[in-house]
Amino acid sequence: MNTLIRSIALAALAATAGLTHAQPPEEKPLPPKVPAEKVGGPPVVSAKGWAVADGKTGKVLWGGNEKDPLPIASTTKIMTAYIVLKLAAEDAKVLDEVLTFSEAADKVVGSSSDLKAGDKVAVRELLYGLLLPSGNDAAHAFAEHFGPRFKSVGKEQDPVASFVAQMNATAKALKMGETNYLDPHGLTRNVASPRDLVTLAFHAMKDPAFAKYVQTRRHKCTVTDKDGNAREVTWNNTNKLLDIEGYEGIKTGTTTAAGACLVSCGTLNGDRLIVVALGSTSSDNRYTDSRNLYRWAWAERAKK
């Protein structure tokens, strides 16, 4: 009897001390092997979706998940600028209009043109603030300024909502069927497919003014504050591809939901391509993904 009691006590003590033998965890089966690597074909990229297109025709040549609507972050601003420049194409005086920054524009978070409430700046200058440093504040300011001109597009009366309605109407007119805009800057979940962004980039780059803006690496301009004082601001382009000869823009974008995005255009030996990479795993990888796609596509086209 004493032996039984002693055994029970020792067992209890061992359990208390964590000395009992736990059952080994059940091993998970190994995943099946994927097919062997293919020799040739497009490079492996980190992007969730991508497309390569002929820059002279806009035709998509190759892609991966190119039809999937994906978050697009600040590549949204391609459409924002496209709409402003379409107005300017109809009336050149649009570029000379002076825009006054509102409190609402000043409070928009994220990448910024660093303008403040009450600052006055010409539309032609603020386009640099939109497209180079990727000013979310500039996108909001443009939507406020030009939104009232598009109230006939929908029932929205708020200027920003009217501008966004025009963005969606323009996307529809361009047959961008996998695109939906909720804001003018990309902070919320604007979506588009890689092939839709090819379409937009192709049409936008037909405008020499747009092409000039997105190729500019640095721009300085003078703005006037609410007290009438002038100051100089400097905007640097976020697109690191512009540090390499042959690349011509177009727009970066980064949010948590979208990952790192890049819509770009490049020419080698007269062969112009548009490349879209959405959802790359890091800022650096969007450039690596894009450059690998360019090199492979140029090599493939050189064979023909």
Comparing 21-35, 63-77, 127-141, the range with the smallest average pLDDT is 21-35
Q: Is the pLDDT of residue 71 over 50?
A: yes
User: Average pLDDT, whole number, for the chain?
Assistant: 92
Q: What sign does the dihedral 250-255-257-260 (CA atoms) show?
A: positive
CA proximity to 201, closest of 57, 94, 301: 57
pLDDT at 41: 85
Residue 157's pLDDT band, with cuts at 50, 70 and 90, is: confident
The b/e string for 160-183 (b: 16+ C-beta within 10 A; e otherwise) is: bbbbbbbbbebbeebebebbebeb
pLDDT at 25: 77
The two three-digit tokens of residue 27, written as one number:
């091993």
What number is the average pLDDT over the span 30-43? 84
Would you mind telling me the total number of residues written for the chain in this entry? Answer: 304
Q: Is the pLDDT of residue 13 over 90?
A: no
What number is the average pLDDT over the span 69-93? 97
pLDDT at 229: 96
Answer yes or no: are the C-beta atoms of 248 and 214 closer than 8 Å. yes
Q: Is the pLDDT of residue 156 over 60?
A: no
Q: What is the three-class DSSP state of 249?
A: strand
Is position 251 annotated in a ligand binding site? yes
**Is the pLDDT higher at 6 or at 251?**
251
pLDDT at 181: 98
pLDDT at 259: 97
Comparing 13-27, 171-185, 196-210, the range with the smallest average pLDDT is 13-27
Count of CB atoms situated within 10 Å of the CB of 282: 13
pTM above 0.75, yes or no: yes
pLDDT at 123: 98
Per-residue pLDDT of 252-303, as tens digits, reads 999 999 999 999 999 999 999 999 999 999 999 999 999 999 999 999 999 8
The b/e string for 193-214 (b: 16+ C-beta within 10 A; e otherwise) is: bbbbbbbbbbbbbebebbbebb
pLDDT at 19: 47
**For the domain with range 49-302, which CATH number is right: 3.30.470.20, 3.40.710.10, 3.40.47.10, 3.40.190.290?**
3.40.710.10
Residues annotated as catalytic are 74, 77, 134
The percent of residues in the chain predicted with pLDDT above 90, rounded, is 83
The two three-digit tokens of residue 286, written as one number:
């969007």
